[in-house]
Amino acid sequence: MKLDKSTIIKRLKANLGLDVATSKIVVVGLGVTGVSVAHYLAQLGFNFVVADSREQPSGINQLREALGNISVFSGAFDEKSFSNATHLIVSPGIPLTEKAIVESVSKGTQVIGDIDLFSCSVDVPIVAITGSNGKSTVTTMLGEMADAAGIKAGVGGNLGVAALDLLDESADLYVLELSSFQLERTSQLNAAAATVLNVSADHLDRHADIADYAEQKQRVFIGDGVMVINVDDPVVLDMHEEGRSTITFSIQTIADFCIGKDNGVEYLKCGEKALMPLSELPLEGRHNAANALASLALGTAVGLDEQAMCKALKAFNGLPHRMQRVAESAGITWVNDSKATNIGACIAAIQGYQHKVILIAGGDAKGADMRDLIPTIKEKTKAVVLMGKDAGLIEQAINGCVPVHNCSTMKQAVSVAASIATAGDTVLLSPACASLDQYKNYQDRGDQFAQAVMGLVDSNHNCNGATSRSSRVGV
């Protein structure tokens, strides 16, 4: 539930030093988050200005239509723009290492993020979900579990709707996906239940090293809520705090929520209790079993009905661009995992198969060490098709342990993969890299993969009458 205006203003002043009469606020960055912050501040009566490094921020005209003639500093950040600020509300896409921000902070300016504003504005439980991989899937799973249980949940954050745009007087629960960039500027969260699903090398172009990245992820546990811990990940296991209420999950060993066998059948289990057969989870891959267990643990922490949660899992067909089956043709399965923008996600996807796959990978590695991929590639791939900015880094790391084919376009990569594949093979787009070197975003990359695959399938069908099947069901 959203608090009333006067209570929110009192909380903002007590917790963040924000005062309607005296605070001088700069909203830094006018993307989705920045626009949501501007609307939020205006509704509460705060005065603020906006700073954006672009000459023509994309949302400025709509914002002015809604809020009037607000002041905007556009173009390269200038220290003078921040010189009188008491608070900078910095969007996740803006590094805190920007010179103008660092200079302003050195003079005593406070940096906060949208999640702190959100946390001061609600009095119902928040579930906070972060991790290198799986956080969008778990966030969506939990939202659907709440819906099945008859609980009105606001679902968003780093996924879909910005957190501040979720504020609703009738919400019973909020489920937030949070990135490391959101967490590094958060101090007020205190979620009722929180998890770091896993930690693998990611965003090392923005974080000093993986230790710094993990430290920011750990901030999701600020407060005294239930810690949901993945005991299979040693980095996450080290985050456990003695004395805190904790629920564990694992796909490798016994935990509060785990996989176990009864009469030879694998089940998702809570302790000794079998909740549902693993085979009834309509998502392929052990990493998706881990996502389901994490969702069950988080739902249990906030009191969701067990049967409703299992019902939601049995109906959950996955998210676009996340292990999404695009087509089956001539015995070959084509899978779109374009959301795998880091090494850990790619490894999890490949290891989810019992057979070797043909991997399409590459893009912007974001400073990650591609050698971490090699044990999995050597064990679990038949061939690798590479494209994008850092294809050479991956090929150098592979060093001939499996056949490598270099391509310049997605259409070419799909064609080459098709020439290698035989009946029974899976061709998996799981890039292990970001997409912005060649595409608008990972969705654009996945869409182009799907278009190329369907073009190939249709062409083959027209040529030889072969039967094919396309699907939007996640595997």
Residues marked as catalytic: 135, 158, 203
Q: Are strands 257-262 and 173-177 parallel, antiparallel or unpaired?
A: unpaired
What DSSP string describes 369-413? -GGGGHHHHHHHEEEEEE-STTHHHHHHHHTTSS-EEE-SSHHHH
Report the SS3 class of residue 153: strand
Q: What is the DSSP letter of 251?
A: S
Question: Alpha carbon of 324 to those of 193, 294, 422: distances in Å?
Answer: 29, 20, 20
122 has which bridge partners? 2
What DSSP string describes 288-342? HHHHHHHHHHHHHHTT--HHHHHHHHHT----TTSSEEEEEETTEEEEE-TT--S
Angle, helix 5-16 to helix 32-44, in steps of 10 degrees = 110
Identify which of 404, 392, 394, 348 has the alpha carbon closest to the alpha carbon of residue 371.
Answer: 394
Q: Where are the alpha helices (DSSP H) in 76-171?
A: 99-106, 114-119, 135-148
Chain centroid to Cα 470, Å, comes to 26
Burial category of 457 from C-beta neighbours within 10 Å (exposed 0-12, middle 13-18, buried 19 and up) = buried
Q: What is the DSSP letter of 142?
A: H
Residues in the chain: 475
Contact 308, 148 (CB under 8 A): yes
Report the SS3 class of residue 34: helix
Q: Is the dihedral of CA 423, 282, 193, 144 positive or negative?
A: positive
Cβ-proximal residues to 405 (8 Å cutoff; 6+ apart), any chain: 383, 384, 385, 386, 416, 420
Q: What is the DSSP letter of 439?
A: S
Instruction: Give the span between the Cα atoms of 160 and 152, in whole angstroms.
Output: 17
Contact 338, 326 (CB under 8 A): no
